[in-house]
Structure 1
């Protein structure tokens, strides 16, 4: 039987800060009633479930795992236009979110930018470059 990937789990060092950050990107996490300080989940389109687990919980439940010094995961968020990428990047960085890459027109045909969530995981913001928009 072929397994089904239906959930992604991100280890975070501060659950509250992570929930607040992802809310800025439009995601609403629900804290687990059995572990409200250590685990939260968010249902995404197409049946995918995104989870946040604290480093403390991961250390207790995963025998040979140690929290990395910085994030190793990048989540990519697609926007409807290059202007939306620029606006979201400006909103996030104005809110004190760490910038990793200012918006730029990537050679693969997208407007692209990156920030870091509060635990250092990468967050890519992108949109297809429009041929109708002469500024992009």
Structure 2
């Protein structure tokens, strides 16, 4: 039997800031999570998104250091439509998050944009330009 992919984990420098960002994208972390060292949210399909503070990781791996040279992880959020990509991008940038790549019609058939989370991870926003039935 093979292991089953179950959790996407992100080590964050400011848990409250990261929770605010991901909640703005619709991820339902439990109330009071800001005071926890490790939090999880169940995503559609059963996969989980876990956030751990840097201090939590160092508590069991004292030599751990944040990676250098770019973001730590890449996540992509499918939006309902091309207009929803634009609106979500504007909402996040308007809330003070860094817009890395403004929405554009990508040659691979998607409306596509990138916003950075509080730790500089590129978070992709996308929607098919044409209805693909999904």
Query: Normalised by the size of structure 1, how large is the TM-score?
Result: 0.87
For residue 30 of structure 1, report the CA deviation from its aligned partner. Answer: 2.4
2:80 corresponds to which residue? 80
Tell me the number of residue pairs that the alignment of Structure 1 and Structure 2 aligns: 130
CA distance 1:32–1:68, change in 2 (3 Å) = farther
Unaligned runs of 5+ in 2: none
Query: Normalised by the size of structure 2, how large is the TM-score?
Result: 0.88
For residue 63 of structure 1, report the CA deviation from its aligned partner. Answer: 5.0
Q: Aligned-residue CA RMSD in angstroms? A: 2.0
2:48 corresponds to which residue? 49
2:25 corresponds to which residue? 25
1:103 corresponds to which residue? 103
SS in 1 for 2:77: strand
1:37 corresponds to which residue? 36
| Per-residue Cα deviation, 1:40-85 (whole angstroms, up to 9, x for no partner) | 1100111101100011111222354211245221110001110000
Unaligned runs of 5+ in 1: 132-136
1:134 corresponds to which residue? none
- Alpha carbons 2:10, 2:72 under 8 Å: kept: no
1-side partners of 2:61 and 2:48: how far apart? 20
SS in 2 for 1:71: coil
2-side partners of 1:29 and 1:93: how far apart? 22
For residue 22 of structure 1, report the CA deviation from its aligned partner. Answer: 0.6
1:68 corresponds to which residue? 67
For residue 10 of structure 1, report the CA deviation from its aligned partner. Answer: 0.5
2-side partners of 1:125 and 1:119: how far apart? 17
1:93 corresponds to which residue? 93
